[in-house]
Amino acid sequence: METKELKFLLKLLGCSNYRASLSGSVFKSFKGKDKICRNLGDRNLVDFSREIATVNILSPGQALLKLDPAELPITDKERKVLEKLSKTSGKITPSKITSLKAAERDTILKTLSDRGLIEVELKIKRTKAEVWLTERGIEFLRDDYSPKGAATIRLDLLNNYVRFLRKTLRVKPEQISTSAVHSAESDVETIINITDEEILQTIQKLDKELGTDNYLPIFHLRQKLQPPLSRDELDKALYRLQRNDQIEFSTLLDPKPYTPEQVDAGIQQNVGGSLFFISVN
């Protein structure tokens, strides 16, 4: 690993939930940050906000347009996007699709891409891009990274790493012999090992307490469960509940009623708005 890549990761370790804005104060003067971000992303050590850079219609999309419009398994707006792409040669930027608003356009492009009708090329978002440490990145820094050679590292970055190791390499309860302390630590471990069902019950309880009519903003859940859970752990649990059809997500259309911190609590997507509301099925 190059020194500049290590410094990039160490800076992330000093951020809340190991997450930061690429244009914010943490990385504002960091040279080559976009390239470093992509390189670390290719190794699954970090992930970042993405947007569609180019789009191109594929053969299945071309074939679909030859069918009777009444028989097409797509919406009218999706058909119009395909028709627009079919009339161009090669890749185009999403901005060339002017018949739709940006958010709706990106959602349609993602849907068509998921169906294998078009090909999209993703890149780091131009505005308000965020970068965060992945679960693999945490494992790498905790278990696998072995520094070699000579490098100049600022003490504040080293401090970030030391604090990270102290946090992630805590002594387990079974290693403590005193029964009273063992019991207390076991209670803490029980709190940390929250089940998906308990998370679902917490969502229902918060919705009832706050009167959000089965439309709970995710920041309320983060305030309740982070800690003991990390942001990544909670996100993964919510995705499991979604896959099991126990909850549904909705995106935030109007951020004005919320603070930037509350908006930031949403689950970022590569394309489209962040997942902000939770509804129980």
Q: What is the pLDDT of residues 225-237, one digit of tens each?
A: 877 788 888 888 8
Which long-range contacts (C-beta less than 8 Å, at least 24 apart) are formed by 169-177?
169/142
C-beta of residue 274 within 8 angstroms of C-beta of residue 129:
no
pLDDT greater at residue 253 or residue 11? 11
Interacting residues of 191 by C-beta distance below 8 A, sequence separation 6+: 228
The band of 171, judged by pLDDT with boundaries at 50, 70 and 90, is very low
pLDDT greater at residue 268 or residue 107? 107
> In this structure, what DSSP letter does residue 267 have?
B
Q: What is the mean pLDDT of the chain?
A: 82
The tokens describing 93, both together, are 């930027």
Interacting residues of 106 by C-beta distance below 8 A, sequence separation 6+: 51, 52, 94, 271, 272
CB atoms closer than 10 angstroms to residue 162: 12
pLDDT of residue 193: 66
Q: Kindly state the percentage of the chain with pLDDT values over 90.
A: 10
C-beta of residue 249 within 8 angstroms of C-beta of residue 221:
no
Interacting residues of 112 by C-beta distance below 8 A, sequence separation 6+: 61, 74, 78, 81, 82, 118
The band of 175, judged by pLDDT with boundaries at 50, 70 and 90, is very low
Mean local confidence (pLDDT), 179-188? 42
The tokens describing 20, both together, are 């930061």
For 3-49+128-153, CATH number? 1.10.10
> In this structure, what DSSP letter does residue 92 have?
B
C-beta of residue 13 within 8 angstroms of C-beta of residue 161:
yes
pLDDT of residue 183: 43
* CA dist 225 → 12, 20, 197, 203, 222 (Å): 22, 20, 13, 10, 5
Measure the CA–CA gap between 206 and 199, rounded to whole angstroms.
10
Measure the CA–CA gap between 159 and 125, rounded to whole angstroms.
30
For 196-280, CATH number? 1.10.10
Instruction: Say whether pLDDT at 108 is over 70.
Output: yes
pLDDT of residue 9: 93
pLDDT of residue 209: 86
Instruction: Say whether pLDDT at 277 is over 70.
Output: yes
| Three-state secondary-structure class, residue 245 | coil
Residue ranges of domains in the chain = 3-49+128-153, 52-124, 196-280
Q: What is the pLDDT of residues 206-250, one digit of tens each?
A: 988 888 888 899 999 988 887 778 888 888 889 889 888 889 988
Provide φ and ψ at 257, rounded to 5°: -70, -5
Q: What is the pLDDT of residues 127-166, one digit of tens each?
A: 888 899 998 888 888 888 888 878 888 898 888 888 888 8
Bond prior to 60 in cis (omega within 30° of 0): no
CB atoms closer than 10 angstroms to residue 14: 16
Q: Is the pTM of this model over 0.85?
A: no
Report the alpha-carbon angle 30-31-36, nearest 5: 90
Instruction: Say whether pLDDT at 177 is over 50.
Output: no
* CA dist 198 → 115, 246, 281 (Å): 34, 12, 15
Instruction: Say whether pLDDT at 186 is over 50.
Output: no
| 3-49+128-153 shares its CATH topology with 196-280 | yes
Instruction: Say whether pLDDT at 172 is over 70.
Output: no
pLDDT of residue 170: 65
The tokens describing 267, both together, are 């689950």
Q: What is the pLDDT of residues 17-75, one digit of tens each?
A: 899 888 888 888 888 888 999 899 888 899 888 888 899 899 888 888 888 777 778 88
